[in-house]
Amino acid sequence: MASRSHKKRPSRRPYEVSDKELRRNRKRIQNLFSLLLIVAFIVIVILLLKAIMHGRADRTSSEGPSLHERLKAALKFAEGPPPEPPDTFEGLLDINQDTMVIDQYFTYGTHLYFSGSYNTLPQVVQAEAVVRPINEALDVGAWTMWLETDEEDGGVTHFCAADGITTGPDLDQIPAGKYALLMKLTAANGDVQYRFIKDESHNQPFDYYTVTRNGSNRKIQMKTMTDTVHGFTFFGIEVEETELPEDIYDFVIDPGHGGTDEGCLSRDEKVKEADLVLEIGLKTKELLEAHGYKVLMTRDGTEDPSEEMAYTMYAENGRVNKACRSRAKMGLSIHIDESSYDSERGFSVTGTIRDDWSFNLPKKLVSSIRNHTKAVFWDEEVGNVKDGIYYGAYDGFMVDGTFNNRDAFYMIRELGGVATGAMYDGNYEYYVGENQFRNSLQGVECDLVTLGFMTNDDDLKDIMGNKDTYAEALAEALDSMIRDAPILSLETAPKAIPSAQARQAEKEANGESTESTEPDK
Ligand SMILES: [Zn+2]
């Protein structure tokens, strides 16, 4: 206290503020407040602009979820399980936007077949069809395609499933999800390009149901899809778990003949082919059902014995329409042959000639029959592909409607729809009705199994003494077609190879020049 007394007394106490200072402070506060107002205004304007842009993006994508729907989904997320991701195709960004056009597609058995053409292709050493899930860069399954450039036609390149109608993407192997169907092209230098596919087939869309596995089925739709964010339009595959509709089956068993048609007879004329194949067919159905499959019989023995079934096979409920209506994936027509030579014997499996090289179902049938029975190969050379396997001439009708022997393979031809060139249009006087499914885009893969010869004592004795074993062989072959093609796993699917453009873009983003990444020479 003593020291302070010597100092000059301040004109006012420290807590007193002069009017001038007060005005200055007020001005400062006003300035600060204005600044805050301006900042707040700018923030509001930015947020509003963002919301408007967002709303516009929502409106431009025709099928995308609205802002409201997304908010609803976000709310749901807080309540329960996470919402479905929107249809954005981030995983497709590395795909060459140059689409490849398909002019037709259909299914045969469990496979998708498609074909088309393209104008300018790089030097391609390998072409594959791959399915890629949305939002992912995974190749879920790859199926080899065939490419051929037609130099005379201005270098147009044609493409289709490599080995005919049974080797395209196996629909039964694709897990539930949404996918783009892509063409993966590998160049000689290892560069890979993925391309979208554009559907110009003008097909009516259809639902494909997978074969029952462990009591469950999937419904598959092939359709043009749109990315809701980037606006890409491309051909895709949507797979969802679902119940199998009541009228749809996994397999169809067709015991030959029936009604007034006894088929071939044993040498003593006591045993009829129609009875024997019915018994084996019913047993085959029973065995397949024990494996959980849904099986339709084209006839089960309850048919009218006075019906001329050979004439009514195209009738509304005849064996052809019945089998096609079931939309079964695979079918077996079971027969036993006859010959004017008692010594002629052996079994054979006839597939369609459009199954160019793979003959997967015939191969399974042949090996299964050989494994289960003592049956020997038929030694006929005409139409023989390899041991036990034959291809059927499926254009058996003469143009004038004359019925001839070659039409014995009508089940192979007529059940395949577009895939096998089904043709019966009801204009032949020999038959009743018409094949309503001759233009079907969902073909039943049907093979004709001839178990042996009724007129050969060894064959007949073996078949009659081992009906169950023959049925086991047939059921085992169909079952193994499904068992040996398991549903593919997204977890183990290989990462898609980034396209050359995507790799280049990445390099540029990392600030690398193209030259510096070239290996030293
Ligand atoms: Zn027959």
Residue 348, beta-bridge partner list: 450
pLDDT at 501: 66
Residues 321 and 437 in one domain: yes
Amino acid at 397: F
Whether residue 492 lies inside any domain: the answer is no
Domain ends where: 217, 245, 273? 245
Residue 185 C-alpha from the chain's centroid: 20
CATH of the domain at 438: 3.40.630.40
Residues 355 and 411 in one domain: yes
Residues 199 and 231 in one domain: yes
Residue with tokens 């078949």: 463
Of residues 268, 338, 105, 93, the one with CA closest to residue 196: 93
Residues 317 and 234 in one domain: no
Residues 394 and 450 in one domain: yes
Full residue range of the structural domain in which residue 224 is found: 92-245
Domain ends where: 245, 277, 294? 245
- Taking the centre of ligand 1 as the mean of its atom positions, its distance from the CA of residue 349, in whole angstroms, is 13
Whether residue 288 lies inside any domain: the answer is yes
Residue 178 C-alpha from the chain's centroid: 12
Residues 456 and 254: their CA atoms lie apart, in Å, by: 23
- Taking the centre of ligand 1 as the mean of its atom positions, its distance from the CA of residue 9, in whole angstroms, is 131
Residues 144 and 123: their CA atoms lie apart, in Å, by: 16
Domain ends where: 188, 214, 245? 245
Whether residue 315 lies inside any domain: the answer is yes
Which tokens is 430 given? 């020999």
Residue 23 C-alpha from the chain's centroid: 80
Q: Measuring CA to CA, how many Å separate 250 from each of 105, 437, 508? A: 21, 17, 52
Which tokens is 107 given? 């299914």
Residue 100, beta-bridge partner list: 197
- Taking the centre of ligand 1 as the mean of its atom positions, its distance from the CA of residue 336, in whole angstroms, is 5
Residues 130 and 268 in one domain: no
pLDDT tens-digit map of 398-456: 434 444 444 668 899 999 999 988 888 888 777 899 999 999 999 999 999 999 999 99
pLDDT at 6: 40
pLDDT tens-digit map of 470-494: 999 999 999 999 999 999 998 888 8
- Taking the centre of ligand 1 as the mean of its atom positions, its distance from the CA of residue 257, in whole angstroms, is 6
Residues 433 and 355 in one domain: yes
Which one-letter DSSP state was computed for residue 11? Answer: S
Residues 276 and 292 in one domain: yes
Q: What is the domain count for the chain?
A: 2
User: pTM of the entire structure?
Assistant: 0.79
Of residues 415, 414, 248, the one with CA closest to residue 326: 248
Whether residue 196 lies inside any domain: the answer is yes
Q: Report helix, strand or coil for 179.
A: strand
Sites in the chain below the pLDDT cut of 50: 1-17, 55-62, 71-72, 74-82, 397-406, 514-521
Whether residue 105 lies inside any domain: the answer is yes
pLDDT at 46: 74
pLDDT at 31: 80
Amino acid at 453: F
- Taking the centre of ligand 1 as the mean of its atom positions, its distance from the CA of residue 164, in whole angstroms, is 27
In our burial notation (b when 16+ CB lie closer than 10 A, e otherwise), range 440-467 reads: bbbbbbbbbbbbbbbbbebbbebbeebb
Residues with CB under 5 A from ligand 1 (ion): 256, 263, 335
Count CB neighbours of 156 within 10 A.
15
Which one-letter DSSP state was computed for residue 143? Answer: E
Whether residue 42 lies inside any domain: the answer is no
Residues 223 and 256 in one domain: no
pLDDT at 15: 42
- Taking the centre of ligand 1 as the mean of its atom positions, its distance from the CA of residue 406, in whole angstroms, is 12
User: What is the phi-psi region of residue 40: left when phi exceeds 0, alpha when psi lies from -120 to 50, beta otherwise?
Assistant: alpha
Residues 218 and 258 in one domain: no
- Taking the centre of ligand 1 as the mean of its atom positions, its distance from the CA of residue 430, in whole angstroms, is 18
- Taking the centre of ligand 1 as the mean of its atom positions, its distance from the CA of residue 502, in whole angstroms, is 59
Whether residue 188 lies inside any domain: the answer is yes
Residues 214 and 191: their CA atoms lie apart, in Å, by: 41
- Taking the centre of ligand 1 as the mean of its atom positions, its distance from the CA of residue 271, in whole angstroms, is 13
- Taking the centre of ligand 1 as the mean of its atom positions, its distance from the CA of residue 264, in whole angstroms, is 6
- Taking the centre of ligand 1 as the mean of its atom positions, its distance from the CA of residue 258, in whole angstroms, is 10
| Dihedral angle over CA of 272, 275, 281, 286, nearest 10 | -150
Residues 477 and 364 in one domain: yes
- Taking the centre of ligand 1 as the mean of its atom positions, its distance from the CA of residue 431, in whole angstroms, is 18
Query: Is residue 166 within 8 Å of residue 109, measured between CB atoms?
Result: yes
H-only helix segments in 177-247: none
Residues 264 and 236 in one domain: no
